[in-house]
């Protein structure tokens, strides 16, 4: 087994609990159109599908492309003004990051989120200077599930894909990690839909809390 040198995380639903601020933005758009707010539990599984996926939930599938895009842009506009008001690290993530660093390993972020949202969010949470690499969805021609973003992360962190593990809460994360040649873990504590079947995604392991990531890291660094 090649020793592990770097842990790469998906952002929304894996490293950060961004649901409250994203839900606030969606419900703000709904309020502008005279609609009642949706509960967090209903919005939660759509966060991984981006602004357009959230708008489809909030306003239904029967939207023309122009209206859908307008609402998605409005959601992003509102969200950009409230990036870290309610967002926080998932319970246990801070300890995991500290343990990774204390072991002399690196950690980074690979997300489909845009740069103009990702970097201000990381900065507000004090994570921007701690990550060995950050790769956003608009930095590569083909975002996840294509492995290109993960390969770019390896270049920036100066590690090989075989020396990395990618942790994510969506099937596209696991597909990207496997195609990139990395080990993979499913964050079951993230934004999975009830009908998801993560056992079938082919990951190396499934973790019910961030703390369980450390147990897997020990098996790969011994």
Q: Can you give the pLDDT at residue 108?
A: 98
* Res. 210: pLDDT tops 90: yes
Q: What is the mean pLDDT of the chain?
A: 96
Residue 89 CA to residue 67 CA, distance in Å, equals: 33
Largest Cα–Cα separation, the chain = 57
pLDDT in tens, 12-32: 999 999 999 999 999 999 999
| pLDDT for 48 | 87
Alpha helices (H) along 81-204? 93-102, 115-124, 148-157, 171-180
pLDDT class for 221, splitting at 50, 70, 90? confident
Distance CA 34, CA 43 (A): 18
Side-chain-side CA neighbours of 95 within 13 Å: the count stands at: 10
pLDDT tens digits, 35-79: 999 999 999 999 988 999 999 999 999 999 999 999 999 999 999
Decide if 12 contacts 18 (C-beta within 8 A). yes
Within a 10 A sphere around the Cβ of 96, how many other Cβ atoms? 24
The whole model's pTM is what?
0.95
Is 90 exceeded by the pLDDT of residue 222?
A: no
DSSP H/E element including 31 = helix 19-32
Catalytic residues: 10, 12
Sheet of 133-135, strands arranged across: 133-135, 106-110, 6-9, 164-168, 183-187, 205-207
pLDDT tens digit string along 135-172?
999 999 999 999 999 999 999 999 999 999 999 999 99
Burial degree of 122 (CB within 10 A; 0-12, 13-18, 19+): buried
- In tens, the pLDDT along 77-126 reads 999 999 999 999 999 999 999 999 999 999 999 999 999 999 999 999 99
160-179: b or e for each residue (b if 16 or more CB lie within 10 Å)? ebebbbbbbbbbbbbbbbbb
Look at residue 63 and give its three-state secondary structure.
coil
pLDDT tens-place string over residues 165-185: 999 999 999 999 999 999 999
Neighbouring residues of 162: CB distance < 8 A, sequence distance ≥ 6: 2, 181, 182
The CA-atom distances, in angstroms, between 95 and each of 89, 106, 218 are 10, 14, 15
């Amino acid at each position: 087994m090649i020793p592990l040198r770097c842990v790469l995380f998906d952002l929304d639903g894996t490293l950060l609990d961004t649901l409250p601020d994203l839900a606030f933005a969606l419900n703000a758009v709904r309020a502008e159109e005279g609609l009642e707010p949706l509960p967090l539990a209903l919005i939660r599984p759509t966060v991984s599908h981006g602004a357009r996926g959230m708008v489809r939930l909030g306003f239904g599938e029967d939207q023309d492309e122009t209206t859908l895009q307008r609402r998605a842009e409005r959601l992003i506009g509102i969200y950009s003004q409230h990036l870290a008001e309610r967002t926080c690290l998932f319970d246990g993530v801070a300890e995991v990051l500290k343990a990774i660093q204390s072991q002399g390993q690196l950690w980074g972020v690979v997300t489909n989120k845009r740069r103009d949202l990702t970097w201000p969010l990381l900065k507000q949470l004090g994570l921007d200077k701690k990550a060995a690499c950050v790769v956003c969805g608009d930095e590569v021609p083909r975002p996840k599930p294509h492995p290109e973003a993960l390969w770019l992360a390896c270049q920036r962190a100066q590690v090989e894909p075989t020396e990395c593990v990618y942790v994510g809460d969506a099937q596209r994360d696991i597909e990207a990690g496997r195609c990139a040649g990395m080990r993979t873990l499913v964050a079951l504590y993230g934004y999975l839909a009830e009908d998801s079947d993560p056992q079938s995604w082919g990951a190396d392991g499934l973790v019910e809390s961030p703390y369980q990531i450390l147990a897997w890291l020990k098996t790969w660094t011994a």
